Structure 1
C-alpha cells in the first residue's frame, strides 16, 4: 500500500534493543502500526517479578494475539511497525509518566511482588531503559515518514478479554478514539460493513486517555490515529490472527483508496483531546529536544 506518485522508501535500523522491535516498511506508505503490549517477556535481571508462569500467560502481562496481528498487518500492507519487547508489567508504555498505573502493583487480582516496593530510582531506570527508547523510536520513525513527504496515520493494535468479572463482552472488536475522527470513524464504518461481527466504539475501554501512546504520538502531533481492540479469543490461534489482519488490511485499503479522504488523513491537524488541561505539554521533535 502506498500513495500514487511516491517512490519506495527503505527503512534501516540498527539491531533492536531490549525495548522494541522494528518491522521495516515503506516510509511513504502513509501508515505506521504500533503494538504497545506485544509481549509477556520480563527482561533479564527481573526474574518473573515474583509471578508464577501461569500469571505471565494471562492478559495482565500482554495483549494476547496482538503482536501476531500487528506483524501480519504490517507485512500485508508493506508498512513499518514498532512493537514492545517488554511486558506491560515491567512498565506500561501506554500510560503517561504521571499515571498511577504506569507500574502496576496489583493487576486483576494478581500481586506483582517485584513492583510492590518500587522506589523512584528503579522507576526512573525502567523509564530510561524501556519506556523512553520505545517512544523515541516511534518519534524517529514518524519524523522519517514526514521527511519522506507523507505524515503517517497511526494505528495501535490491542486485544481485550472475552469477559470481565463473569460478564461476557459482546464485541468482536472495537475502535477507540478521542477527538480526531479522520481515521477512527472511517475505520469503524468500514469494519461495520461486515454484518457477521459486532464492532464497538470506545468499548470496552475509552479512547480518551491523556498520556497514552495515541495521545503522545497522534493527538499532540496532529496525526490521524486510532486504536483497534480485538477480542483475545478470536486471535489466540494463527488462523484467527491471519483473518483479522486481512480484515483490517482490507478496511484500511478501502479508506486509503478514496483520494479526498486520503489527503485529509495525511494533513497535520490539531484536534486536541477531551482530557486537555493547561498542563498538557506541547510536542517537541527529537531534534528540538536534543538542542536543549
Structure 2
C-alpha cells in the first residue's frame, strides 16, 4: 500500500492467531476530501476525529502477540469504518458539540464515493486477513475520552465490548478484574480498577466491524477500549500493551478456545 492508502497492514507474516485491528487509528483527511473538514486543528486533535493512543497500543500489542495488525489511515469524521454501510452515523454531521461543515451536506452520492474510496477497501483487506486461518482471534482496539462535553467523568480504565458471543470476553473480563498488577496500575492514579462490561458503549451495532467480520463467521473476538488519558504517549501505549498481552494469551490458553 502507498503512503496515501486508506489502510495499512503490519506484520502480515507473523504466525500468531490474533488479528489486531484499529478502526480509528488516525485523524488524516485524505486529499480526495479536501484540505480539511472545516473544523479547527484543535477539534481534529480531539477524540471526535480518531481514537487517541489506539494505533500505538495496537502496534505494541500485535508485536507482543506475534500477530498481524491492520489499521485505517483516515479520520472517522471522513467516514466511520466501525459502522455498517447503512448506519445513520456513518458520516457524522455533529459530534460531541462540534458541527462538521464538510459533512453537513454530504448526500447519498458523496457517502457512496467515500465508501468506495476508504470504507470498502479497508474492510476487504480486513476480511482477507481474517480468512487466512480458521482459528483467528480478532482483537479490535479503541480508546475513549475520559469525559464527553457536559457529561460526568467516565470511571472505567478499560471497557470490554461484546455482543452475544461472549466466549472470550467473559473469561477475559474475569481475568482483568482478578489481576493484581492491573489493580496496582489503577492505584497509581488514585483510582480503583473498574472494568466496563459494554461500557462506555454498547458492544453491538448491527453491521459494525466485529459484527461483519467476527459474529457473521463465528470467529472468536473481543473489543478493547482504553481510556485515552492512559495511552497518550508511546511509553504509555507500550506499557499497557505489556500489561494486556499476557492476560490475552493466558485467557486464550486457559479457556482452550
If the length of structure 2 is used for normalisation, what is the TM-score?
0.91
Aligned residue for 1:162? 146
Q: Which residue of 2 aligns with 1:269?
A: none
Q: How far, CA to CA, are the matches of 1:64 and 1:230 in structure 2? A: 9
Q: Does the CA contact (< 8 Å) of 2:20 and 2:139 recur in 1?
A: yes
Give the secondary-structure state (helix, strand or coil) at the position aligned to 1:227.
strand
1:119 corresponds to which of 107, 111, 120 = 107
Q: Which residue of 2 aligns with 1:18?
A: 5
C-alpha separation in 1, matches of 2:104 and 2:128: 34
* Contact 2:15 2:66 (8 Å CA) reproduced: no
Shift, 1:223, TM fit? 0.4
C-alpha separation in 1, matches of 2:174 and 2:159: 11
- Aligned mates of 1:256, 1:180 — CA distance in 2: 15
Residue number among 215, 235, 239 corresponding to 2:211 in the alignment = 215
Aligned residue number for residue 177 of structure 2: 192
How many Å apart are 1:145 and its aligned residue? 2.2
CA contact (8 A) 2:22 2:55 kept: yes
Note if contact 2:39-2:100 (Cα within 8 Å) is conserved in structure 1: yes
Kindly state the Cα deviation for residue 15 of structure 1 after the two structures are TM-superposed: 4.8
1:41 counterpart (28, 38, 42): 28
CA RMSD of aligned residues (A): 1.5
Contact residue 145 and residue 229 of structure 2 kept, 8 A = yes
Please say if residues 27 and 144 of structure 1, whose CA atoms lie closer than 8 Å, have aligned partners that are also in contact.
no
What is the alpha-carbon distance in structure 1 between the residues aligned to residue 2 and residue 120 of structure 2?
A: 17
Structure 2 CA distance, aligned partners of 1:210 and 1:225? 15
Deviating above 3 A after TM superposition, structure 1's stretches of 4 or more consecutive aligned residues are: 14-17, 25-28
Indicate yes or no: 2:165 matched with 1:177. Answer: no
Following superposition, the deviation at residue 27 of structure 1 comes to 5.8
> Over residues 218-245 of structure 1, what are the superposed CA-to-partner deviations in whole Å (9 max), with x where a residue is unaligned?
1001101111110010001222211111
After superposition, give the CA deviation of every residue in 1:36-74 in whole Å (9 maximum; x if it has no partner): 000000001422111111110000000000000000100
CA distance in 2, matches of 1:57, 1:17: 20
Matched residue, 1:129: 117
Unaligned runs of 5+ residues in structure 2 are 185-192
Alignment of 1:202 onto 2:186: no
With a CA cutoff of 8 Å and minimum separation of 6, indicate the structure with the bigger relative contact order: 2
Matched residues in 1 for 2:82 and 2:177: separation? Answer: 26
TM-score (norm 1): 0.80
